[in-house]
Amino acid sequence: MSVMQPAEMTDEQLNAAVAFEVMGWTNLTPPDWQGGMYGHPPDGSAHWHRKALRVGPGVPHYATDYAAAFEVVERMRESGWTLMLMYYRNDEDGNRAYFIGDDGAVSAEAISVTRSICEAALQAVRGET
């Protein structure tokens, strides 16, 4: 069974993959009727109500929100990776993020800075250098 590549994922799929594989969330739920995803962040700040009502924060929109994407950058920095961003003005997917580590570098090019950060981070933690 092959793993879906980050560039092939929707924003919602990328948010979930980054939350689980990069940020350490556990027990992710499928999107609910309101479009939110829920789970347990590594700091334990979310929990479940005994009647299965979801309580606590939803999964951040890493692929579209700058503040959330830079939480990913911080997590990667803590793991020994350095971020380099490049912008190409005349290119449709003109935002490229590089994570550079001791064992090499990974990069992703996407329509937005936030998405390129998430795609590159996911490739890095998967060992796709």
Domains of the chain as residue ranges with CATH: 6-125 (3.30.2120.10)
Residue in 6, 8, 33, 29 with CA at minimum distance from that of residue 17: 6
- pLDDT tier, 2 (very low <50, low <70, confident <90, very high otherwise): low
pLDDT digits (tens, 9 = 90+) for 42-77: 776 654 433 344 444 678 899 999 999 999 999 999
Question: Whole-model pTM?
Answer: 0.80
